[in-house]
Amino acid sequence: MNKILAKKHFGQNFLKDESVLTQIIQSIPKLQNTLEVIEIGAGLGDLTNKLLSLGSITTYEVDKELVPYLKERFKQALSMRALQLEVGDILQIWEKENLREKPYFLISNLPYYIATPLIIKAIKDSMCRGFLVMAQKEVALKFCADTGESDFSALSVLARSIGEAKLLFDVSPQSFNPPPKVTSSVFLLTKTKYEEKDFLEKLEKLLKIAFNMPRKTLFNNLAKSYEKAKILECLQKLGIGINKRPHEIDTFFYHQLLKFL
């Protein structure tokens, strides 16, 4: 059944490994009773089924052909309102500032092709209190890296601006049907502070410039968009050496840089 249902254009790789599904559930932090649990991408419902042990959840699914199967599989949970099934493209549904009207925790085996934009949306969403997601390992490393590490990137700074991201474990291609060509990783982000969406969007623009050419110095990258004298003044005030590369600068300094520039 999995082979018939998996669709390339939706980036579907159904997680079938029972031990990985259990590991995901065991990795979810203890949630407050007031938090709604949201899943993006129900797929065949194997993770959804396990998430129901946490209480009532809402799951989003883009593939209309999977809906009859999901409605049949979760007939009881749907009728008891333990499960709410929302059908549609999550990127279109999430065009407004917040995905939900009340605080929630997000859990998802994210399709690779939309993983980064969805994680950034969750970071900016003031109702999202944190998330446990699976993405391509390469992407997960960028969100979880520490200052000075080669993977430290604009995504690391965004994640650290609102909390702490932690890489939990890797998942091999053989855990999926069909198997993807890359290794996946599950990571957890717990929000400990809340920045205004406007601030995060301005920071994101600055970071795109700062990390445009990661091997070049921060000064050289910034010089393409800002006056050199202004950059030199900012770096001097912050005590940042002119030869520092973007991945060597701490998140705090990027926040200060944004204020100065």
Q: 210, 254 in Cβ contact below 8 A?
A: yes
Confidence of residue 261 (pLDDT cuts 50, 70, 90): confident
Q: Which of 224, 222, 221 is nearest to 261 (CA)?
A: 222
Confidence of residue 9 (pLDDT cuts 50, 70, 90): low
Q: What's the average model confidence in pLDDT over 209-223?
A: 95
Rounded CA-CA distance 219/200 in Å is: 21
User: Model's pTM, two decimal places?
Assistant: 0.92
What confidence tens digit (pLDDT) does each residue in 105-130 have? Answer: 999 999 888 999 999 999 999 999 99
**CATH code, domain carrying 232:** 1.10.8.100
Q: Do residues 94 and 147 share a domain?
A: yes
Q: Do residues 187 and 240 share a domain?
A: no
Residue of higher predicted confidence among 248 and 112: 248
pLDDT for residue 8: 57
Q: With 80 as the cut, is the pLDDT of residue 12 above it? A: no
Q: Give the domain range for residue 173.
A: 2-194
Rounded CA-CA distance 3/13 in Å is: 10
Beta bridge partners of 188: 132, 166
Q: Which of 20, 19, 24, 17 is nearest to 39 (CA)?
A: 24
Q: Do residues 129 and 166 share a domain?
A: yes
Which residues belong to the annotated binding site?
A: 13, 15, 41, 61, 89, 109
Beta bridge partners of 86: 60
The residue from 175, 194, 213 where one domain ends is 194
Alpha-carbon distance values, 143 to 98, 137, 138, 232 (Å) = 21, 10, 9, 28
Q: Do residues 181 and 228 share a domain?
A: no
Which residues belong to the annotated binding site for S-adenosyl-L-methionine?
A: 13, 15, 41, 61, 89, 109
Q: With 70 as the cut, is the pLDDT of residue 1 above it? A: no
DSSP element (H, E) containing 176: strand 176-177
What confidence tens digit (pLDDT) does each residue in 224-234 have? Answer: 999 999 999 99
DSSP letter for 246, please.
G
What confidence tens digit (pLDDT) does each residue in 44-102 have? Answer: 999 999 999 999 999 999 999 999 999 999 999 999 999 999 999 999 999 988 999 99
Q: Do residues 181 and 225 share a domain?
A: no
Four-residue CA torsion sign, 116, 175, 11, 35: negative
The residue from 152, 168, 194 where one domain ends is 194
